[in-house]
Copies of this chain bind each other. A is one copy, B any other.
Amino acid sequence: MERKRTVYMDHAATTPVRPEVVEAMNPYFSERFGNPSSLYALAREAKEAIEEAREAVAAAIGATPEEIYFTSGGTEADNWAIKGAALRGKGDHIVTSAIEHHAVLHTCEVLEKQGYRVTYLPVDEFGRVEPATVEEAITEKTVLVSVMAANNEIGTIQPVRAIAEVARDHKVPFHTDAVQAIGAFPVDVDEMGADLLALSAHKFGGPKGVGALYVRRGTRIGTFMDGGAQERGRRAGTENVPGIVGLGRAIELAVAGMPQSAPRLAAMRDRLIRGVLDEIPDTRLNGHPTERLPNNVNVAFRYIEGESILLMLDALGIAASTGSACTSASLEPSHVLTSCGLPPEHAHGSLRLTLGHRNTEDDVDYVLEVLPGIIERLRAISPLRGEA
């Protein structure tokens, strides 16, 4: 097989920054470089740019600008939401799901070591949390319910609104990690019932290292990053001005483009899924058949291991992933796939393809052309196939 094109299909890991976004950021490095906290004209320019970005983020998720706090990414937003709620809450119990991103799970585990109790809600075979399980899990001591809007590995969209309603009935704040949701489907904090919501610019055409936490007015959370009086005293640290400007521009573009991009991506996704399942035996779709991110394909190939698939794809110019990029350094099977009931050996053989802005139908063709051969070659050297 020879390399015919370069295809990036790992947009759930990160996306290229859009040219319009880079352009918007550029003046803030060396020209309008003022520290937004200062008083002079140069600083005011920076401050105004930040406030414009704040309005853009607020508008994109149906919030008010005063409810938006900029962070260094999705991970910080999740850490802050959870540790901040724990710090201020009058209890010691947190409810979350078994398939959260590690930014949520590992934060909860750290809190467990400090004496908090955490309920990790199970999911069904498609990766969905059942809202009734939230009802059962909440106690008098619960300080936070945190369930992601959409999963980064298998793309399953959660019934967030129903979960939020349960939390609200119990007067427990509700956090949602919407890092994968922004730009994929309409996100409105009121419709979702979110009190806290995390997002990250690099997942929708913005730069890495910048994100935001939405904090509904009146939600009590402690600070996470302590220091200067930036972000109205709630998130210290000199603001990443170019990054924040980039986040603002990227979210505008992503949300404005959604009516076109979502159906376009979903059509490619469906063609990929159908093509793979039809052409390659012993294969199953991971995640939900319909309640699924428009750009997410995740399939399990029996008898083979995911990393070796990735390497062969890479050699043919295709960038893909086995699960969340953060765990690719680990040798554990994906916690998301095993939570959905996949036996570990199938979990090990899963491939995630996530589509984006630059992908075309030709990219889909190319993947469908080379993938069957790769799977066949790897199965030919696998000791497992014979056994089945």
Contact = CB atoms under 8 A, between A and B. Distances in A.
Given A74-B238, A210-B240, 11 more contacts: A10-B40, A17-B29, A35-B325, A38-B321, A40-B310, A40-B313, A72-B237, A101-B228, A102-B227, A110-B222, A229-B330
A321 B326 CA distance: 41
Contacts of A237: 72-76, 103, 209
Nearest to A21: B29
Contact of A38 (B25, B208, B242, B319): B319
A107 B227 CA distance: 6
A248 interface: no
A128 interface: no
Interface residues of A, number: 78
14 contacts: A14-B35, A34-B319, A37-B329, A38-B328, A39-B310, A41-B319, A75-B228, A76-B225, A102-B228, A104-B227, A109-B226, A209-B209, A228-B324, A236-B326
A187 interface: no
Contacts of A35: 10, 13-14, 325
Interface of A: 8, 10, 13-19, 21-22, 25, 29-31, 33-35, 37-43, 72-76, 78-79, 101-104, 106-107, 109-110, 200, 202, 207-210, 222-223, 225-230, 236-243, 307, 310-311, 313-314, 318-321, 324-330
A209 B239 CA distance: 6
A200 B311 CA distance: 37
A22 B34 CA distance: 16
B17 A30 contact: yes
